[in-house]
A and B are shown apart, each in its own frame.
Chain A
Amino acid sequence: MRGFFKSIFERLMDYWRVLSSPSKYFSLGFLTVGGFLAGIFFWGAFNTALELTNTETFCVSCHEMRDNVLAELKSTIHYTNRSGVRATCPDCHVPHEWTNKIARKMAASKEVWGKIFGTINTREKFVEKRLELALREWDRFKANDSLECRNCHEFKFMDFTEQSSRAAKLHERFLSSKEKTCIDCHKGIAHKLPNLGKAAHMK
């Protein structure tokens, strides 16, 4: 056993010796330009792959998303409306700005775990877990001042005269004063609400 670890250690030291010594055959120009080009290629590939996971097609390729949350979205104004502009999953659930996007993507890797172990692979399991999932999203929206809403619904460009008087009044009172943020009132607009009896949020 000791011999096994020793041989692995020696192998690693061999690699280190190669990496730490100057190049013997390749020119400096080849290495720098080659490294630069490889970097561009890697970066492009990385971002392309990232964007591929940032589409609705990717999200609903799992039945958990297709049969629950997408099905519920379909009847709402964020899916079908008079002008045909619509929000896809990542528009609301993934920040658009790069740093936050990567952070969100890393957090979302837990969803891969969930998929593998079937955390919500039946309707019953999903309904059971819905409150927890919703609370997590609401906390996220609350913490970033409903950033994803504001990517489209920017307060500065809201025309109160075009809103119903009820909406205008409430926006004037709570949104312009920054007393509340979008998600405080607009919960459950794209998906069905969980049983809120258990949630302190809405009491």
Chain B
Amino acid sequence: MRRESHSSMSRAVRTALISAMVAVGIGLPSAAIADDPIATLRNWGISKEPTPPPTPKISNTDLRQGRNYPEQPPVIPHSIRGYQIDLNSNRCLQCHSRKATELSQAPMVSVTHFMARDGQVLTSVSPRRFFCTQCHVTQLKVRPLVGNSFIDVDSLIEGVGNKKGN
């Protein structure tokens, strides 16, 4: 009696599990992929190994790019392959530090980076701002994966002004 109930229970559990696995593993993701392109960046089933797209080139124009909003960390307009940023050394600061800019003619790190978290200004880059690539990134020549309708604040003000007819 006991054994019977146990086996029937386990059978029920197994059936439920298998059907769940079938639903989750095969049915649902493919449906989701087909319907919503943003839901996943992997447009293939788990079992398929697609050929990856070619690695895009890093934009290396050396031309400063505008910021989309005032607080945006400026993007890096050059290659940073192999740049060492660690306890020992910071390759970025070899050109962008206050002392180096005279020779390198690179833009100096903003003085906001010298501020410790209590607003105290230190003599050089504060440890909490040391790891440049946490905020500053290189750019790739690719189509954005997801579009957006962001409007720059100046354009926004202009747009509002135009609508009012001023």
Contact B82 A202 (CB under 8 A): no
Shortest Cβ distance from A166 into B: residue: B62
Chain B interface residue count: which class? 10 to 19
Contact B87 A195 (CB under 8 A): yes
Judge if B78 is at the interface, Cβ distance under 8 Å: yes
Contact A77 B62 (CB under 8 A): no
Interface string of A58-88 (1 = CB under 8 A from B): 0000000000000000011100000000000
Contact A194 B88 (CB under 8 A): yes
Contact B78 A166 (CB under 8 A): yes
Interface string of B77-92 (1 = CB under 8 A from A): 0110110101111010
Contact A196 B82 (CB under 8 A): no
The answer to whether A165 and B62 touch (CB under 8 A), given A75-B82, A170-B104, A202-B94, is yes
Contact B82 A77 (CB under 8 A): yes
Which of A75, A165, A174, A196 is close to B88, meaning CB atoms less than 8 Å apart?
A196
Contact A188 B87 (CB under 8 A): no
Judge if B60 is at the interface, Cβ distance under 8 Å: yes
Contact A192 B62 (CB under 8 A): no
Q: List chain B residues, Cβ under 8 A from A195.
A: 87-89
Binding site for B on A (CB under 8 A): 75-77, 164-166, 169-170, 174, 185, 188-189, 192-196, 202-203
CB pairs A–B below 8 angstroms (18 shown)? A75-B82, A164-B62, A164-B79, A165-B61, A165-B62, A166-B62, A169-B105, A170-B104, A188-B84, A188-B89, A194-B88, A194-B89, A195-B87, A195-B88, A195-B89, A196-B88, A196-B89, A203-B99
Given A188-B91, A193-B84; 16 other pairs, CB 8 A cutoff: A164-B78, A165-B61, A165-B62, A169-B105, A185-B94, A188-B89, A189-B82, A192-B86, A192-B88, A193-B88, A194-B89, A195-B87, A196-B88, A196-B89, A202-B94, A203-B99
